[in-house]
Structure 1
Amino acid sequence: MTASIVSEWSGKSNRELIEFIVERFHQVHRQQLPELKQLALKIEEVHGDHDEAPHGLAEHLDNMLHELESHMMKEEQILFPMLARDIYPSGPISVMEEEHVQHEQDINKISALTNNLTLPEGACGSWQALYRGLGELVDDLNQHIELENTVLFVERESTPTHGKDFCCGSCQ
């Protein structure tokens, strides 16, 4: 993700950023992973005897699908509603950041299983589509994580409250 995109979103409200993240990343991940898993299964079945076949990739993508779905649901149901009210709960944010580290490890495993998304000579169209899709998934996940970690999860200065009162957000 370029610095200009990060700075562009730094000026937006949490509500706008959350809407963007859900539409641009959460919904896209929910489409990408099942499709990529099916392609990986096909490649493993058809080309399983090839030295460079990505053995274990379909299972890894299935695990990622379940982990990522759980992560996104926690964000959508718990964390995002709080952030939309400009409440920055350190506990849930820390949990999401820890899970982002796991997602980065999952990306590294994709790289290891696919020889850094390097296609073997003469790879079929399905294999090419799989690696192209995996490249998009990796790029999207990296952008998603960076946007949340560097913009959404960072408490911003808010408008001054009356006196030293603190609003829990439920009055908004």
Structure 2
Amino acid sequence: MKDLLKKSIATIVSENINTATIFRKHNIDFTFHGNMLLSKACEEKNIKLKNIVTELNSVNQNLYYLKDYNSWKLDFLIDFLINIHHEYKEDNILFLKDYGNKVANIYASEYKELKEVNKLIQEVTDSILEHMKNEESTLFPYVKKLIDAKNKNLQIDIKNSPLNDPIDSLEDEHEEVGKTFNKISQLTNNYYIPKDACISFKVLYLKLQQFEEELYKHIHIENNILFPKAKKLERYLLKQQDPYLN
């Protein structure tokens, strides 16, 4: 228990992604404000610390390598984000945009919130696509250059490094996307499916909920694992080039 109390929420999830389920259950944000200590988060949510520690300790600690993102090499982690997470989002965004329009057109007169839900779906999915495009064209290639420089003992040029102000913008975009999905969740009463809903209505809400959960894991991996490690690698290389650099 003492070990958990000394760690931030993001660190706990980074060390064992299985704990994300516990934090999601208690509506504790591990993605955007994961630097908060567990005790502080429990205090804010009025949750008994002892209870959540028991739940966290009960989570299977035998973490398979394929889920132990914190132990992966950065280049492998980037390939995983592109080939798995980005591909998943691209495939499902088209689905969400289509079904968002379809369900709103049929049920918006009966369920007033659907018009706003669909509007948010269309906006946030376009934003996510643009965001992923920027990562794949600028940030990820730069981090791979850093990895190559370390492996081959090469000099690096940090002019216009995307790990400075641009990465802050990416983190801000992450937070805006999170706020939008939080609003969608509120509008849908946490994706509550009416008893008389048709298959399209049910599928839309189930897919939205699944997409949100995967999105938060994706953003957690970037904000709390990839970005900090990339910044650390860049600082290390700069120090190698200039030993007197603070």
Given candidates 80, 88, 104, the residue that maps to 1:20 is 80
2:139 is the counterpart of 1:63: no
Pairing 1:42-121 to 2, within 5 Å after superposition: 42-51=102-111, 54-86=114-146, 89-121=163-195
Q: Distance in 1 between matches of 2:164 and 2:206?
A: 37
**Larger Rg over CA atoms:** 2
Q: Distance in 1 between matches of 2:14 and 2:164?
A: 26
Q: Distance in 2 between matches of 1:52 and 1:58?
A: 11
Aligned pair count reads: 165
Deviation at 1:56, TM superposition (A): 2.2
Q: Which of the pair is proportionally richer in helix?
A: 2
Show structure 2 runs of 5+ residues with no match.
Answer: 1-12, 19-66, 148-161
- Cα deviation 1:19-61 (Å, max 9, x = unaligned): 1111221111111122112112111111122136522222211
User: Residues 43 and 53 of structure 1 are in contact (CA less than 8 Å); yes or no, is this contact kept in structure 2?
Assistant: no
Counterpart in 1 of 2:204? 130
Q: Distance in 1 between matches of 2:15 and 2:110?
A: 41
User: Residues 14 and 221 of structure 2 are in contact (CA less than 8 Å); yes or no, is this contact kept in structure 1?
Assistant: no
Deviation at 1:113, TM superposition (A): 2.6
TM-score scaled by structure 2?
0.60
Counterpart in 1 of 2:43? none
- Cα deviation 1:81-137 (Å, max 9, x = unaligned): 112233772222211111111111111121123121011122111111001100111
Counterpart in 2 of 1:169? none
SS in 1 for 2:214: helix
SS in 2 for 1:154: helix
**Partner AA of 1:11 in structure 2:** S
Counterpart in 2 of 1:10? 70
Greater relative contact order, per chain length (Cα 8 Å cut-off, separation 6+): 1
Counterpart in 2 of 1:40? 100
Q: Distance in 1 between matches of 2:141 and 2:117?
A: 34
Comparing 37-46 and 3-12, the one that deviates more: 3-12
Q: Distance in 2 between matches of 1:51 and 1:126?
A: 14
Counterpart in 2 of 1:151? 225
User: Residues 14 and 86 of structure 1 are in contact (CA less than 8 Å); yes or no, is this contact kept in structure 2?
Assistant: no
CA 1:127–1:74 in 2, change beyond 3 Å: closer, same or farther?
same
Q: Distance in 2 between matches of 1:123 and 1:78?
A: 43
Deviation at 1:11, TM superposition (A): 1.7
Q: Percent identity?
A: 26
CA 1:3–1:129 in 2, change beyond 3 Å: closer, same or farther?
farther
